[in-house]
Homo-oligomer: A and B are copies of this chain.
Amino acid sequence: MAARKAPAPKPRKTPVQSRSKATVDAIFQATIQVLLVQGSSRLTTIRVAERAGVSVGTLYQYYPNKQALLGAVLEWHLLRVVSTVEEAARSAHHAPLAAMVKAVVDAYVAAKMHDVREAQALYRVAGELDAVPLIRAISQRGHVAVTAMLETAPDATFDDVGLCAYMFVAAMAGPSRAMLEGGASPAMFAMLAPQLESLCLGYLQREAARPT
């Protein structure tokens, strides 16, 4: 499943003229729009170009192929989520464990839920790409930030901070995706953040309490 896929190529041209800048932006936004409105199976280069108000040829001036385009959009999305988490983690340094968890969970939920369907759709297309390296690299940033934060907790010390940070971040994804994929009700969504806090805090407190 990995061997078949070529590494996702990068944009082929850096926009030097201002006209270009507007065009790439339009293509970028159009990709997300088509993904949301039409679904991943109807996401074609022609439709993206049409929605962006440019011709297919123009699209291919900036992205050498469909994969490159999708890769760029996915990266942009992941970066947005991870930077939100990074910032939250940084702001919670030296806070009590419960406050740390609340800060990170709130940031994560806010970022993820902000564009609920966008996230959904992007995870779908990620499968067609060889997105593993990208996802891994960006996740790494989240783990590093959360690890650094946990190490400053005044009321908890961990045997394996890295592992705890990994589980912390990964745990948030489970119920989030479950609600997205299962089409949960607004009432359920309202409970997501507090429940995630409970989930992660319960875990971290257990791990902090463990005998070395």
Which residues from chain A sit less than 8 Å from chain B, CB to CB?
A: 1-2, 4-5, 36, 38-42, 117, 120-121, 124, 127-128, 132, 135-136, 139, 163, 166-167, 169-179, 181-183, 191, 195, 198-199, 201-207
Contacts and interface: CB of A to CB of B under 8 A. Distances in A.
For this chain, the copies found in one complex come to 4
Given A174-B170, A199-B171, A183 B132 contact: yes
Nearest to A201: B206
A153 B135 CA distance: 39
Nearest to A192: B167
Interface of chain A, helix or strand or loop or mixed?
helix
Contact of A182 (B132, B178, B195, B207): B132
Contacts of A178: 139, 166, 169-170, 173
